[in-house]
């Protein structure tokens, strides 16, 4: 990776990870399950659908919605608590 991260960069990276965890925690249960299975564990669409006992189309839709929500909330810098205040 080249140079080691500065203390400031390490802190920013940690804050971004914490914010991401908070945003994922605010997703609907289905979106969170799909996101964690697909992105976190690397499960296929087929494996995720079988695990959650839903259609593959439902998995694709939930992942699309989850990533859209995450992207939007991360761009606005929203995490736990802030979401409810700004809605």
- Could you tell me what percentage of the chain is helix, strand and coil, using 3-state DSSP and rounding each to the nearest 5? 75, 0, 25
Assign 3-class secondary structure to 12-42.
HHHHHHHHHHHHHHCCCHHHHHHHHHHHHCC
Span 19-54, pLDDT tens digits: 999 999 999 999 999 999 999 999 999 999 999 999
- What does the pLDDT read at residue 56? 98
Q: Are 33 and 52 in contact (CB under 8 A)?
A: yes
Span 61-77, pLDDT tens digits: 999 999 999 999 999 87
The residue among 78 and 71 whose pLDDT is bigger is 71
């Amino acid at each position: 990776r080249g140079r080691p991260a500065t203390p400031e960069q390490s802190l920013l990276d940690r804050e971004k990870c914490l914010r991401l965890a908070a945003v994922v925690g605010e997703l609907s249960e289905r979106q969170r399950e799909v996101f964690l299975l697909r992105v976190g564990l690397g499960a296929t669409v087929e494996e995720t659908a079988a695990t959650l006992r839903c259609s593959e189309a439902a998995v694709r839709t939930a992942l699309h919605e989850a990533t859209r929500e995450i992207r939007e909330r991360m761009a606005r810098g929203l995490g736990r608590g802030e979401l409810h205040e700004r809605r």
